[in-house]
Amino acid sequence: MDSLMYLLNGFTVAFAPMNIMWVTIGGVLGTIIGMLPGLGPATGVAVLLPLTFTMGPEAALITMGGVYYGAMYGGSRASILINTPGDGAAVAATFDGYPMTLKGKAEAALAISAIASFIGGIFATLVMVAVAMPVARFALKFGPAEYFLLFLFALSATASMSKGDRIKGFISMVLGLMVATIGIDAQSGVKRFTFGILELQSGIDFLVIIIAIYALGEVFKSFQNIAEGKKKVQKEFGRIWISKEEWKRCVWPILRSSPLGFFIGALPGAGGTMAALMSYNNEKSLSRHPEEFGEGAIEGVAAPEAANNAASVGAMIPMLTLGIPGSGTTAVMMGALLMLGLQPGPMLFQQQSTVIWGLIASMFIGNIILAFVNIPMAGLLVRVLAVPPKILYPIVLGLAFVGTYAISYSVMDFYLLIIFGVVGYFLSKAKIPATPMILAIIVGNNMEQSFRRAYKISDGSLSIFWSSPLAIALIIITVLSVILPIIGDMRKKRAAGKGQTA
């Protein structure tokens, strides 16, 4: 019950007029960034983070929260209207959203995606209120050895679930951990991999890398598409709302997809993209008229939208309570917390309860505001889509540089920004997923420190890593998270082989 008390307390923070203003500004800016093709919530948070550097922790987190789910709302606008998703989680919205636009039903598609996002978001926030404290309390039982194994599990699950090549996911993860070892070692004072460069002694700032990969890397990728010409955007809309029949068709898909999305989002490595795709396929197989899916079925927009917004909230739970981000975007959010001097983890709920519950309470308010911004004002906002990307991308570059400068007031970081921007581009060219690397860079230091602490406690014996039941359980799920997908692949291959011979 004390969760409710904390939540009420949180509402007094979130209802402060300034904070309502910040969540609105953050939400609108996030919606705009989310609408840009190729740019999703991770880029939105990364690029807009410097806006919050001089705010207090509550206001800063509330603003960034607004940007985060604003970008989730915005991502689907571009999917529906011009068939270019802002990020992976919005891909599923193109399947039926764009066909709806082609049939002249853009208004209903825009409305239902905002409504579904709203319900998904609110549902997930309610569950979060219920489970956050128990999870955090449970996590207090973790010693350094368990923490190390937990980090290991989160990273290997992310790498093993990454799209395409599994081995490339693991290479990306190790690369990130390597980057995290650069700088002075916190426990012994030994300089590692600094190449005699003074600026590298304090390590590479992960925020610079995040901005590099998510802003510069994405802009580099966009050079290709820019020549392809621009799709025409519908600018005149009727009333953006849905009919009673449409609502009846969507209500169950939304209610089914919200818990599914939340659960998948809370798992490390899965995230919004998988949640959206799974709920889409789920609804297609449950539907009485599956042939309509892909041709403009309204529940084909509603289900993935509810799922991905619920997932985006679900992903916050392991990040806030355990200090383990489960996706690129929550990694960036965790970067924002660390920047403010807040270390996510079980202690956060004890030491900074006002800040955290203020953030959770603002999620309710933010979702309401965003539903308002995205339904009656959608017609106005989507005009951004009419501004050519040719002009918007240079502006994103400009924001990336000013953001990098604001982190440490040093031009040195510009060079790192350029280097990692190019690295990000080549990673995507080589089809190596960037997310495991980003996660590894953020948790790498903590992971090594917990390993070392455990190692010290046990006086140099590795047996501490399998000496408690919790540790053994973590080892088992880590191994399973790596082996199960491999077995699944082998089965698929065998089935395909049989299909060929038959």
Partner 1 sequence: MNISILSGILALLIGLIYTAMTFLLPDAPIGRPMEPKIFPMTLGFLMIILSSVMLFQEMRKTKKDERPAGTFTIDTNLKNIGLTCLFSILYAILFDKLGYVISTLLFLEGELFLFNGAGKWKINTVVSVVFSLIIYILFSKLLGVYLPMTPGIWI
Chain residues binding partner 1 by CB under 8 A are: 50-51, 53-54, 165, 167-168, 170-171, 174-175, 177-178, 181, 185, 187-193, 219-220, 223-224, 226, 388, 390-391, 393-395, 397-399, 401-402, 405-406, 409, 411, 414-415, 417-418, 421-422, 425-426, 429-432, 448, 451-452, 455-456, 460
3-state secondary structure 321-344: HHCCCCCHHHHHHHHHHHHCCCCC
φ, ψ of residue 203 to 5 degrees: the values are 85, 165
Residues with Cβ within 8 Å of residue 84, at least 6 apart in sequence: 37, 38, 78, 94, 231
Q: Which is nearer to partner 1, 156 or 312 (CB)?
A: 156
Q: Please, what is the minimum distance in Å from the beta carbon of residue 354 to partner 1?
A: 23
Cα 417 to Cα 207: distance, rounded to the nearest angstrom: 10
- For partner 1, the closer CB: 15 or 193: 193
DSSP state letter for 375: T
Q: Are 31 and 73 in contact (CB under 8 A)?
A: yes
Residue 487's identity, in one-letter code, is I
430: three-class secondary structure by DSSP: coil
Q: How far apart are CA 13 and CA 178, in angstroms?
A: 40
Q: What are phi and psi of 192, to 5 degrees?
A: -120, 130
Report the residue number, 354 or 428, with the smaller CB distance to partner 1.
428
Task: For residue 138, give the nearest of 363, 318, 261, 356 by alpha carbon.
Answer: 318
Minimum distance, C-beta of residue 483 to partner 1, in the bound complex (Å): 15
> Which residue in 189, 228, 201 sits closest to 84, CA to CA?
228
Measured CA to CA, the distance from residue 269 to residue 128 in angstroms comes to 18
Of residues 142 and 425, the one with the C-beta less far from partner 1 = 425
Q: Which is nearer to partner 1, 188 or 500 (CB)?
A: 188
By beta-carbon proximity to partner 1, the closer residue of 188 and 501 is: 188
Distance CA 164, CA 434 (A): 12
Q: CB-wise, 402 or 483, nearer to partner 1? A: 402
Q: Helix or strand or coil: residue 319? A: helix
Query: Are 294 and 245 a contacting pair, CB within 8 Å?
Result: no
In the complex, minimum distance from the CB of residue 264 to partner 1, in angstroms, rounded to a whole number: 27
- Shortest separation between residue 490's beta carbon and partner 1, angstroms: 14
Positive or negative, the CA dihedral 54, 57, 59, 61 is positive
**Residue 207 C-beta: closest distance to partner 1, Å:** 14
Q: What is the DSSP letter of 141?
A: T
Kindly tell me which of 15 and 426 has the beta carbon lying closer to partner 1. Answer: 426
Question: For partner 1, which is the closer residue by CB, 52 or 94?
Answer: 52
Residues 37 and 222 sit within 8 Å (Cβ to Cβ): yes
Residue with Cβ nearer partner 1 (8 or 430): 430
Cβ burial, residue 481 (10 Å; 0-12/13-18/19+): buried
**Nearer to partner 1 among residue 171 and residue 363 (C-beta):** 171
The number of residues making up the chain comes to 502
Phi and psi at 183, nearest 5°, equal: 120, 180
Name the β-bridge partners of 192: 183
User: What does the DSSP assignment read for 170-236?
Assistant: HHHHHHHHHHHT-EE-TTT--EES-TT-GGGTT---HHHHHHIIIIIIHHHHHHHHHTT--------
Taking the least distance from each CB to partner 1, the nearer of 6 and 220 is 220
